[in-house]
Structures are given as C-alpha cells and as structure tokens.
Structure 1
C-alpha cells in the first residue's frame, strides 16, 4: 500500500508541507508535483512568474524542499508556454538538485520526440498519466511504443477526476478501470488518483461542513476487487485543498477564504471563518472550532496540528498567511493518509513535536531552604 502518491500543486503551501514531513514519513511519500500555469499567483514572488523564471525557481524549490527522495514532476499546465526547449531546460535544472525527479507525460505527450530525451537514468524512466476514460489497453500500448518504453519502465497514474466516486456505485467501475490498465503489462506501480472534494467551497462564511472522503473508501474497497496485487497498487489524491487539478485562466485572483480543511479518517472537515474581522481573530476562531471538535486528532498528530492547537490556545499570536493555512491543511492531510496507509501495511510513525504551553509558577512553589 505504501508509498503514498499525493498530487500536489507546486505552490508554496504545498511544497513546503512536503518538505516539513518528518523523516520517517518522507520515506513513504512520492508526490506528483504539478507546476502551476503562468496565470497562477506565486506567493513567494508576490506576483505571477515569467517564463524565464520557471526553471530557476522550480529547481531552487526542489533543492530546498525535496532534494533527496523520488518524486514526479508534471509540467502539463506550463508546457505550451515553455515549449520543448524550455521544458528540457526546466528538467535539466531540476535534475541538478534531485536526479530522482521523474517526468510525467500524458499519452499525447509521448508522441513528442522530446520525451525520448527526458528519460531518467534510474529504473523508472517516465511516469504516465491517463484519465479514467482513456484506460484503453491498445491506446496505452501504442503510446508507449512510440517512445520505446515498456510498462516495466514506468509508474502509471490513473486520474479519476470527474468520475462519480460514491462507493455504493463506483467500486466496480474503478476496479475495472484499474484492471484494464494493469493488463497492459507489469507496471512498476499503478496509482489511483482522485478526490470527491467539490469544485467550489462547500462551507458558507462562519459555517462548517463535512465532505465524505469517497476516494479513500473506493480505493480501499477496490483493493479487494482489483486483480492487481496490493504491492503494485498505489493510492493518491489531490491533497486537502482541491478536488481537481486546475489553475485560473486569468492572472491574479481574489482574496483567499479564511478557513482550514481538516482531514479525518472518513471525511474532510471544512471550517470556514467569518468574512469580516482581523485575520488573527478569525483564524484563531477557526482553530478553536477544530481543536474543540470531536475530529481533532491531537496536538502530536502532525506539525500542522501543533500549530492549529497553539493558535487556538493563544500560544502563538500570529495567524499566518493563506500559504501557511494551505501548508497546515496539506501537512495534516498527508500525515492522516500516511498513518492510515501505514496501518494497513503494518508500519507505524512517530508522534510529532508538541509545543509546551507556558505556565505561571506560583510565588510559593519554589521556596528556598535556609
């Protein structure tokens, strides 16, 4: 069942969350980092990036936050802007920081001769991503032949975006799609990737909503029906912040909602703050509502839970920024999935660091002895 394959946008809050995973958890995570389009605001740059900055900035961020472990780099949303020369430059820059960063290609990408120059030196040459409606054995086989690869050279991601994932109706169809992909050949890993999270924020200002994690239920049920052995079947979702990998069509964007999305074993708890008031007050209230709920996993569950607890209790005064909130969402979510997958695989993970609450000593607590 392990490792876990989260699909993360290569945005500040998400790549920093990956970099802050504890070491014993990082050993069992292989993210698919998706480079945002040029229309996406970059919080670190405080503006949208330019074409000339993409390779340098991506390489630096890989070097700082994910320099040693294998991961997958998906450039689908930036490919047209960069062109073949720019893509090759991007990957060569990234590989100077992490040689185990595997390019991700759609079936149509494999017809481009460029991808013969993007093979990795290790056992995994490329990763392939197919939508669930593209899961046709002949289409996949023919696409691999154009680039000279075998399934055994690749990890394949099967993207269920847009598919109905209610376990009551979806388990059989999801298992069938995975089986069709598995019949193509002996892939290094077949990775389910999907999310039941809605496209629009489900919580009104000041309200709380529970969204079922059907993607987890369907995957768990498919393990029993699918003919692919569990050690070659991987689980992925899209982190905590989105149910679809998409970016705005126009540059810029509105103010981020002041909220946290807190993953439970079976649901996503969406806790949204008021639309008015200072960030410090609003986000403190959001954190209090999580900590005081039945869903709080405990301060030691992850570094994000420690931050949420500290803000709720007034141990830290600063509420952070939208990137910090995305980091907390993502870090808690990944630890939830890693721990749950670990339980299935018989692997345990250490508790996280806990920030001690300040205490006021009594005047008479430490009497001096004459």
Structure 2
C-alpha cells in the first residue's frame, strides 16, 4: 500500500478485509459511517467493536449523509444532532469529516442546449451541521462528491455518453447538456457553442479562476480546437469545483 494512501473501511466490511487493512496501514485509517447506520439500533455495538481495535487518534471519521435535497437540509441537520449522541469519544478522533451530496444521479431530465441551474446544497447543509458539532467543541472538515452523484456509476457496454458541462457556482451547479457521442456531441463546433454559452453568462468566474476555466475560455474562443472527451470534461468540472470549494472555505474563517 502506498505510503500516502489512507484506506477507508466501513461498518459493513467483512472482518478479513478490516484486518488486512489494519495490519498494513502507515498513516492511519478513515472510517466511513452513513447517517442511516448511526440511527440504526445495532450501530453502537458494531461501531464499538470496530473502533476498539484501533487507535482513535489515528482515525479520520467520515460521517456520510449521502444525498441532501433542498427540502432535507433542516431534517438531516436535525438527524446529525441526534447521531452525535450515539458516537462516544467523538473528540478523540484525528478528524471528523462530514460529507454530503446534491448533484443529481443523471442529467437526462434536464433541457438540452442551454445552461440550467441545479441547487447546490452541500455548503448550506455543512454550515447547519457544523453548529451541532461546535456546541460540543468539535471542529469538522467539509467534504462532498464534487460534480458527481454519491452512488457508483456502472458503465454498460454500448451506453451512449452525452456531452455535458458541470460547473460549480455559489448556490447552484450550472450544467449544459448536449448530444451523445453518436450524434456528434463531442464535435468541436458543438463543444465550442456550449463553452460560449458558459463564458458569456453571468456564471462564468473568469479564465484566470482555475485551469479548467482557462480551458473552457480557450475552447470558446478557438484558441484550442480540441473538444476533449468525457474524461476531459469530468476533469475540467472537478478541477473548477475543487478550486471553487477551496476559495469558499477559505473565506469562511
């Protein structure tokens, strides 16, 4: 196992996998627990059995709330408060990380060929949840799933990938949905049109904001005439998202 990798284990992992991870770690372990698990009657025994084998000061505890819609922010924040009472020795963990997600599972229901906004709830939820931890004198770390849904995406052979832009903005994700590969969605002319839509909108944060923004600007203006592929565009969306969140968090303290 590489020295800089911190493995993640879950309550549902079998004992052999957990033992294998424990014996090989060099920089501690991350333990991911889901909000639904914490609220289950069997949680405390399972959690105690797992953490009793570990040094809490070498554990990053990830509390994963998974998907949070706009209407669930207050509800799931209240559930976090209840969950805190079920985790003993919270302050002894190396870090407490709270993860959430509000990016949709797929974009098929959204209009094509124009910019569409989707509420971005992760920051709002985090700020609500943070208050409950602060009442107990505990600092937490922000985490999200970027411009992806929290579930694993399973590629099916023959599936037609569709061109799309995923762009993080203050209270929204801004998306542009184009055509599938089969219908020329990744032809440069169509990609350039999409980039122009974003660059000329009020959502664009400027070509100097991140590497991704520079790439989008260059494609819009024909400085770069390569459309990229699905991997390219997921990388661009992720790069912009990380820079945006780092800037956002740095202005919170």
The secondary structure found in structure 2 opposite 1:117 is: helix
SS in 1 for 2:93: coil
2:114 match: 207
Q: Structure 1 or 2: larger strand share?
A: 2
Considering Cα pairs closer than 8 Å and 6+ residues apart, tell me whether 1 or 2 has the greater RCO. Answer: 1
Contact kept in structure 1, 2:68 and 2:121, CA below 8 Å: no
Q: Is the 8 A contact 2:69 2:121 kept in 1?
A: no
2:157 match: secondary structure: coil
* CA RMSD, 1 decimal: 2.2
Which deviations, in whole Å up to 9, do the C-alpha atoms of 1:199-246 show, x marking residues without a partner? 12142332332111112101012222333546x311111111x22231
Q: Could you tell me the TM-score, scaled by structure 1's length?
A: 0.60
CA contact (8 A) 2:31 2:60 kept: yes
Residue number among 219, 234, 238 corresponding to 1:330 in the alignment: 238
Q: Tell me the equivalent position of 1:244.
A: 150
Give ranges in structure 1 of 5+ residues lacking alignment.
Answer: 1-90, 346-370
Higher deviation after alignment, 216-225 or 199-208: 199-208
Residue-pair matches, total: 241
After TM superposition, the structure 1 stretch with the greater mean CA deviation from structure 2, 284-293 or 154-163, is: 154-163
Contact 1:195 1:237 in 2 (8 A): yes
CA offset digits 1:142-180 (Å, max 9, x no partner): 2122xx213222001111124556334332223433564
1:234 corresponds, among 141, 147, 171, to 141
Does residue 57 of structure 2 align to residue 152 of structure 1? yes
Question: What runs of 5+ residues in structure 2 fail to find an aligned partner?
Answer: none
Offset at residue 265 of structure 1 (A): 1.2
SS in structure 2 at match of 1:134: helix
After TM superposition, the structure 1 = structure 2 runs for residues 79-90 of structure 1, keeping only pairs within 5 Å, are: none
Residue deviations 1:273-304 (CA, integer Å, cap 9, x gap): 24544620111111111111111111111000
